[in-house]
């Protein structure tokens, strides 16, 4: 495309401390959140005639961590197509050549709020169980594609007011280093499983731990294990759930085991004490039954030893959840991931720049030829908050990488089934 024509297609607008340079089809930009990678805006897309979310990634190739995450996210978003995983509608860069390449913009379906806001609400069992069911469906789909998330948290799960839910990101790469002995840097770790905190091997049900923490937070309206760092977080885990068995200790590597065995010993509390009846709506016999089912599910998810923790399939079959079971959602065919070495890649900044740029160009090429990824089904006119005015509350303060920095407002959650 000729340079002049391309330039005419874009315009720039200041959003908070950042400048968004976007295609003219995207109008009425308003900040709705921010994360480790950058700012997210809502906008109206005059081509698709709908509201969208646009995330700006500035110099996504700037270092190994940013580049790997941006590239991985882009490749996976292009492959995955499930109603409980955020869908990519468009990706573009305003720069014209690889040499000039600086910023990447991801255009996604627009949702109304992240789970941090929902956690503040008093949810009934219907909504709570439906949100958990959808989270589990999304996780199961990722697992089917060989993606184990390991870093699910409320800020990376978004909902609409009709109670539909989508997971926003793809978690940690297999090769990502985590663990008790690592230098702390600012990320939210409250939801990370013991096997991640303690640097052990992990299996798919590592993600169930996060679902348990999120469910507990929805019930308590407080973070379950609010550690200042991994060490403090481990203390919070054992204070409530009790010191794990000797059998578990034997699975730890020597240095971590020495640390864990030398902590004070805690008996922990029963789940009736941790999640008493007053936390649940229990005004009718039906609600009393649901409350005991909810507590039972929590007790099966929040198990320190992963070999004794419920699996995703078992959780989907649990009586609290299986009322929503739909094989089309639970067993959707897994996506084929185009880049088989996705998690192993190590590159220089220049190589990452080229790889990411190529992925953006590949999208342009594919969409030019009319090959567009399937449109997610759930964004229809029936959804109440699809007017741009109501879904685009400006963010008052936008710091990076804390859960308090995402401030779209949740309207009352309706349950759609």
Site for ligand AMP in 215-274 (CB under 6 A): none
Taking the C-alpha atoms of residue 386 and residue 393, their distance in angstroms, rounded to an integer, is 13
Catalytic residue among 45, 103, 112, 151: 151
- Give the contact letters, 118-157, x = binds to ligand AMP (CB under 6 A), - = no: -------------------------------------xx-
In this complex, which beta carbon is closest to ligand AMP, that of residue 284 or of residue 396? 396
The total of other beta-carbon atoms located within 10 Å of residue 6's CB is: 13
> What is the chain's length?
417
Q: Which is nearer to ligand AMP, 40 or 206 (CB)?
A: 40
For residue 384, the 8-state DSSP code is G
Size, binding site for ligand AMP by CB under 6 A? 21
Among the listed residues 195, 406, 410, 413, the single contact to ligand AMP using CB under 6 A: 406
Q: Binding segment for ligand AMP among 16-24, 104-112, 211-219, 273-281 (CB under 6 A)?
A: 104-112
- Phi/psi of residue 7, nearest 5 degrees: -60, -40
Q: Is 169 a catalytic residue?
A: no
Q: How far apart are the first and last CA of the chain?
A: 47
| Close Cβ partners of 201 (under 8 Å, ≥ 6 residues apart) | 195
Residue 158 in the binding site for ligand AMP (CB under 6 A): yes
Site string for ligand AMP, 19-58 (x = CB under 6 A): -------------xxxx-x--x------------x-x---
Residue from 111, 196, 215, 413 touching ligand AMP (CB under 6 A): that is 111
CB atoms within 10 A of CB 235: 16
Q: Which is nearer to ligand AMP, 270 or 387 (CB)?
A: 387
The secondary structure of 110-176 as a DSSP string is --SEEHHHHHTS---HHHHHHHHHHHHHHHHHHHHTT-------GGGEEE-TTS-EEE------TT-
Segment contacting ligand AMP (CB under 6 A): 62-70, 75-83, 105-113, 363-371? 105-113
Least distance (Å) between residue 21 CB and ligand AMP: 18
What one-character-per-residue DSSP string does 317-379 give? HSTTTGGG--HHHHSPPPPPPS-TTTTT----HHHHHHHHHHHHHHHHHHHHTT--PPPPTT-
Catalytic residues: 151
Residues that bind ligand AMP (CB under 6 A): 32-35, 37, 40, 53, 55, 86, 108-111, 114, 155-156, 158, 168-169, 406, 408
């Amino acid at each position: 495309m000729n340079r002049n024509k391309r330039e005419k297609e874009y315009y720039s607008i200041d959003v908070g401390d950042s400048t968004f340079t976007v295609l003219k089809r995207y109008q009425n930009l308003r900040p709705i959140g921010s994360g480790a990678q950058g700012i997210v805006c809502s906008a109206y897309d005059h081509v698709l005639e709908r509201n969208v979310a646009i995330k700006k990634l500035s110099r996504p190739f700037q270092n190994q961590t940013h580049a790997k995450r941006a590239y991985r996210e882009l490749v996976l978003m292009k492959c995955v197509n499930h109603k409980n995983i955020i869908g990519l509608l468009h990706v573009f860069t305003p720069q014209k050549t690889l040499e000039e390449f600086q910023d990447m913009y991801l255009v996604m379906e627009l949702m109304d709020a992240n789970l941090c806001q929902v956690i503040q609400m008093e949810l009934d069992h219907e909504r709570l169980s439906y949100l958990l069911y959808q989270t589990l469906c999304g996780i199961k789909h990722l697992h089917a594609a060989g993606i184990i998330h390991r870093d699910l948290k409320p800020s990376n799960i978004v909902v609409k007011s009709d109670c539909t839910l989508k997971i926003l990101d793809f978690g940690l790469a297999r090769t990502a280093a985590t663990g008790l002995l690592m230098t702390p840097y600012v990320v939210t770790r409250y939801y990370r499983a013991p096997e991640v905190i303690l640097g052990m091997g992990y299996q798919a049900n590592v993600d169930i731990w996060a679902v348990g923490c999120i469910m507990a937070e929805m019930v308590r309206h407080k973070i379950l294990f609010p550690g200042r760092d991994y060490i403090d977080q481990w203390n919070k885990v054992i204070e409530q759930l009790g010191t794990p068995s000797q059998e578990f200790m034997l699975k730890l590597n020597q240095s971590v085991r020495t640390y864990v065995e030398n902590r004070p010993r805690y008996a922990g509390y029963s789940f009736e004490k941790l999640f008493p009846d007053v936390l649940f709506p229990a005004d009718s016999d039906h609600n009393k039954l649901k409350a005991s089912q909810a507590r039972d599910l929590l007790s099966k998810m929040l198990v320190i030893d992963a070999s004794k923790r419920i699996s995703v399939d078992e959780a989907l079959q649990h009586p609290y959840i299986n009322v929503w079971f739909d094989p089309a959602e639970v067993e959707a065919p897994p996506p084929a991931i185009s880049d088989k070495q996705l998690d192993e890649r190590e590159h220089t900044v220049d190589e990452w720049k080229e790889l990411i740029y190529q992925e953006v160009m590949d999208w342009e090429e594919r969409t030019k030829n009319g090959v567009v990824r399937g449109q997610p089904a759930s964004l229809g006119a029936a959804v109440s908050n699809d007017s741009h005015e109501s879904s685009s509350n400006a963010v008052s303060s936008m710091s990076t990488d804390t859960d308090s920095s995402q401030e779209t407002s949740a309207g009352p959650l309706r349950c759609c089934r």
